[in-house]
Amino acid sequence: MPKLTVALLFGGRSSEHTISCATAGGVLGAIDRDKYHVIPIGITRDGAFTLQADDAEAFRLNPDAMPSVHDNGTRVHWPESATTSEMTYTDAAGQRHSLGQVDVVFPILHGPFGEDGTVQGLLELVNLPYVGNGVLASALGMDKHYTKTALQAAGVTVAPWVTVNPRQWSEDNDLWRSRAQALGLPLFVKPARAGSSVGVSKVSSFDDLDAALETAFAQDSKALIESAIIGREVECGVLSGRDGAATRVSVAGEIIMTTREFYDFEAKYIDPDAALLVCPTELAAGELAEMQRVAARAFDAIGGSGLARVDFFFTGTEFVVNELNTMPGFTPISMYPKCWQASGLGYTELIDELIQLGLETVR
């Protein structure tokens, strides 16, 4: 049986560039080479599509030297029309070469300009199958305000919040400050469209609200102010069903903080002692079933396809959705693959399953 050609798309213009590269390292090292030929396409921080070496070690997660896509002078070109799947590239000397026919694209991009529906729209324009969520679900999942709005409409419990932009905060400060104060303390302030906890602050005094918003606005043009929910931080992985079957949900994992106040970027990727990632974690059978039910409803509420990770606060009586990630962290040590491994689906098998779902999804 001939190998399928997978274009692995990573890097990108967002603040999560390095995390996407680390994910690429994990996938390059684990994908089944007997089934797939891989074309690694790295997007530089300036947005150039480059042909990169098929070298997992070059993109290994290293807290002391986070991986990045370096501009090597190559340029990858998408198909010239929707009637062909041939991709080409120009080398550093300006000579053009064929990359052959591409069967499926695996966009492992995090954050804006990749996880937000923009790249998904590009792939649909050139008629290439791809892994993961479509344009609408990706856009909804990237924007925390609209994710919450869609989930709330579907009967999924979310933390109370308000969304504000710099002009509103400046011109109607008393109004927005009073709305924030009505949420009580502590609060979390987040960029509406960023991931990996970049730009997130915990606010324990209203005197700190301006500084927290300034941090969030440095990442996005609008920010969420939301009530902190007291409870266990638990999450699970979601996969689309095959051939129209029901959405699948993994067992539960849990984040247990040890040295930091909340699960910020440093805790996720830099400080190995900041948190414990436990999977599977202990939940009663009925609690796990309820968590899985809510996760599937949240995924279906945004029109999800392929994969997602759903993050909750479990208060002991209720599962409150914190966020829904349409392209979750996917390194071998990330919670999403760990939850599926604990559910009986290994890392290499999970990659294969996602590719097969991408090939069969009708957009």
Full set of structural domains in the chain with CATH? 4-130 (3.40.50.20), 141-157+230-360 (3.30.470.20), 161-227 (3.30.1490.20)
Q: Is residue 362 scored above 70 in pLDDT?
A: yes
pLDDT at 333: 84
pLDDT at 300: 96
pLDDT digits (tens, 9 = 90+) for 140-188: 999 999 999 999 999 999 999 999 999 999 999 999 999 999 999 999 9
pLDDT at 332: 83
Going by their DSSP bridges, the two strands 4-11 and 104-107 should be labelled as: parallel
CA angle, 357 as apex, 133 and 346 as ends, to 5°? 105
Residue position matching structure tokens 């590239």: 89
Q: Which of 309, 298, 297 has its CA nearest to residue 335?
A: 309
How far, in Å, CA of 289 to CA of 64, rounded?
Answer: 40
How far, in Å, CA of 223 to CA of 303, rounded?
Answer: 24
Query: What is the rounded average pLDDT for all residues in the chain?
Result: 93
Q: What percent of the chain has pLDDT over 70?
A: 95
Q: Which residues contact 67 (CB under 8 A, 6 or more apart)?
A: 18, 21, 22, 24, 25, 58, 59, 60, 61
- pLDDT band per the 50, 70, 90 thresholds, residue 271: low
Q: Which of 307, 297, 298, 301 has its CA nearest to residue 115?
A: 307
How far is C-alpha 321 from the geometric centre of its chain's CA atoms? Answer: 15
Q: Is residue 269 scored above 80 in pLDDT?
A: no
Q: Is residue 263 scored above 80 in pLDDT?
A: no
- pLDDT band per the 50, 70, 90 thresholds, residue 82: very high
Q: Is residue 61 scored above 90 in pLDDT?
A: no
Instruction: For residue 210, report the phi and psi dihedrals to the nearest 5 degrees.
Output: -60, -45
pLDDT at 15: 86
Range with the lowest mean pLDDT among 8-12, 273-277, 295-299?
A: 273-277
pLDDT digits (tens, 9 = 90+) for 26-58: 999 999 999 999 999 999 999 999 999 999 999
Q: What is the DSSP string of 18-52?
A: HHHHHHHHHHHHHS-TTTEEEEEEEEPTT--EEE-
Cα dihedral across residues 55, 52, 58, 350: positive or negative? negative
pLDDT at 60: 86
340: tokens are: 């599926």
pLDDT at 257: 72
How much is the average pLDDT of 115-142? 97
Are 196 and 110 a contacting pair, CB within 8 Å?
yes
pLDDT digits (tens, 9 = 90+) for 185-235: 999 999 999 766 778 999 999 999 999 999 999 999 999 999 999 999 999
pLDDT at 136: 97
Range with the lowest mean pLDDT among 196-205, 268-277, 286-295?
A: 268-277
pLDDT at 277: 86
How much is the average pLDDT of 254-275? 65
Integer angstrom CA distances of residue 72 from 11, 41, 90 = 14, 12, 11
Integer angstrom CA distances of residue 254 from 34, 283, 306, 314, 316 = 34, 10, 22, 10, 14
Q: Is residue 1 scored above 90 in pLDDT?
A: no
Consecutive H or E run containing 286: helix 285-301
pLDDT at 272: 60
Q: Which residues contact 280 (CB under 8 A, 6 or more apart)?
A: 251, 252, 253, 339, 342
pLDDT at 98: 98
pLDDT at 44: 98
Looking at the DSSP assignment, which residues form a beta bridge with residue 311? 235, 323
How much is the average pLDDT of 307-324? 97
Q: Is residue 270 scored above 60 in pLDDT?
A: no
Q: Is residue 275 scored above 80 in pLDDT?
A: no
Q: When comparing pLDDT for 195 and 116, which is higher?
A: 116
Q: Which residues contact 126 (CB under 8 A, 6 or more apart)?
A: 78, 79, 81, 82
